[in-house]
Amino acid sequence: MVFRIFGVLMFGAADKLESILSSMGEAPKIVILRMRTVLAMDATALSVLDGLYEKMKSKGIRLMITGAHSQPLHMMQKSGFLDKIGEGFVLENIDAALAKSREVLSEDISAKDSQ
């Protein structure tokens, strides 16, 4: 599942993302946040994003972030959020994220087959 975020990522937008994911019937295996048009993020939005990540992680959903600009990227880095989701899940663009998604899903299938 891919979400494209525009403008400034503030509490309301991050909260709406959580609401959308909560209302879905079947949870996706991977959520990609396209942030190439997000120029700024506030601390509350980062907190909501962190909480959303924790909820997704508990359900086995992986989070990927693509195209983050310097201010949001710096904020996520400084808070430790990027370390939490893993450096390999912060990607330059959507094409890299889709390739990484295929790789992760393929690894998941291989791991299930070997059990």
Q: Please report the DSSP string for the chain in residue order.
A: -EEEEEEEE-HHHHHHHHHHHHH-SSPPSEEEEEEEEEEEE-HHHHHHHHHHHHHHHHTT-EEEEES--HHHHHHHHHHTHHHHH-GGGEESSHHHHHHHHHHHHHHHHHHHHT-
Mean pLDDT of 52-75: 90
Work out the average pLDDT over 27-34: 87
* Domains of the chain, start order: 2-113 (3.30.750.24)
Mean pLDDT, rounded, for 47-63: 87
pLDDT tens digits, 80-99: 999 999 989 999 999 999 99
pTM score: 0.80
User: Cβ neighbours of residue 51 under 8 Å, at least 6 residues apart?
Assistant: 18
